Amino acid sequence: MKYLSCWQSQFRYVLSALLVIPLMGQERDVVNITRHIGHTLDAEENLHYKVFTDIPNFESAQFFEINPDRFEARISYVEYTKTKLSKRAYTLKSLTELQFRLNQMSQITDEIRESYQKNLTYLRTKEVLENIPTGQYVSVKDINGKWVRGTLLSFQKEKLRLQTPFAVKQIPMSQMERINYREKIMNRPEWKLTIYGIAAFMGFGMMESWNRQTNPEWGSKWHNRFMGSIFGLVAGAEVYDTSMILLSKKTQFGLTPAELDKLNR
């Protein structure tokens, strides 16, 4: 009886091994796509070789051998910063035809890879957001088409915190379609004197117009003129800062296929 129980226990181990080993072998059977591509087709190679042209926000793909005449492509893609998986079946014939076509094409170069980077911003959304300096004026378009504009306070836990004129708003990374910001605010100190002078003159002119309408005493007239000039100088500082922001080069990142198409037109 004890011998029978021991034999049953060993039989269970053997049966488990027979079931698990084929599965382990199946997972290890990654197909070498071509000699120059290797086992993994990346995003730049997919754009160059046009393998999965119908997969938006493609990230990478690998081919697995299920049996001698059945193969499976496992394709990862990004949807609103979330990585998802899709599968596609191939026969030996269809996979061989794909490999033959790829071998006839010119190999991708480093220069070609770099030229594709502008169309792959969706792969480095987090990196882009982490590298935006706090204090920048940022515009974010969400998945509902609404723009949120404000000063960047922080980017933590995959959420962007913006100080808008009325409140602090948090925008999850997964809800963004496009982000615009200025990497570097230009500085033209030689413009300050001109802008401040024009703003002070405009403030002086406005108060002079007020003097003519109200006809105050001589002392009040000069008081008004002085105050108008002071307010003009204060406004000039704001005009200068705003001008530097608006005239600085804007950086735009599309985070969805539709937004990338708009930016590339």
Question: For residue range 189-207, what is the model confidence (pLDDT) as tens digits?
Answer: 777 777 777 777 777 777 7
Cα–Cα distance, 22 to 67 (Å, whole number): 11
Residue 28 has pLDDT above 70, yes or no: no
pTM above 0.75, yes or no: no
Least confident of 63-72, 126-135, 244-253: 244-253
- Residue 63: closest CA among 47, 52, 55: 52
Q: Please compute, for residue 120, the number of CA atoms within 13 A of its CA located in the half-sphere on the CB side.
A: 19
Residue 246 has pLDDT above 60, yes or no: yes
Task: Please state the rounded mean pLDDT for residues 204-227.
Answer: 71
Cα–Cα distance, 26 to 175 (Å, whole number): 37
Q: pLDDT band for position 118 (50/70/90)? A: confident
Task: Please state the rounded mean pLDDT for residues 2-6.
Answer: 43
Q: Is 228 exposed, middle or buried (0-12, 13-18, 19+ CB in 10 A)?
A: buried
**Greater pLDDT, 218 or 92:** 92
CA-only gyration radius of the chain, Å: 32
Q: Is 256 exposed, middle or buried (0-12, 13-18, 19+ CB in 10 A)?
A: buried
The percent of residues above 90 in pLDDT, for the chain, comes to 23
Token readout for 184 is 């570097």
Q: pLDDT band for position 78 (50/70/90)? A: confident
Task: Please state the rounded mean pLDDT for residues 227-235.
Answer: 72
DSSP of 133-199, one letter per residue?
PTT-EEEEEETTS-EEEEEEEEEETTEEEEE-SS-EEEEEGGGEEEEEE-SS----GGGHHHHHHHH
Select the highest-mean-pLDDT range: 88-102, 110-124, 149-163: 88-102
Are 153 and 168 in contact by the 8 Å Cβ rule? The answer is yes
Residue 95 has pLDDT above 60, yes or no: yes
Q: pLDDT band for position 13 (50/70/90)? A: very low
Quote the DSSP letter at residue 74: E
How much of the chain is in helix, strand and coil states, percent to nearest 5?
50, 25, 20
- Per DSSP (E only), the strands in 11-157 are 30-31, 41-42, 58-67, 70-79, 82-91, 137-142, 147-156
Cα–Cα distance, 115 to 108 (Å, whole number): 11
Residue 21 has pLDDT above 50, yes or no: no
**Greater pLDDT, 264 or 165:** 165
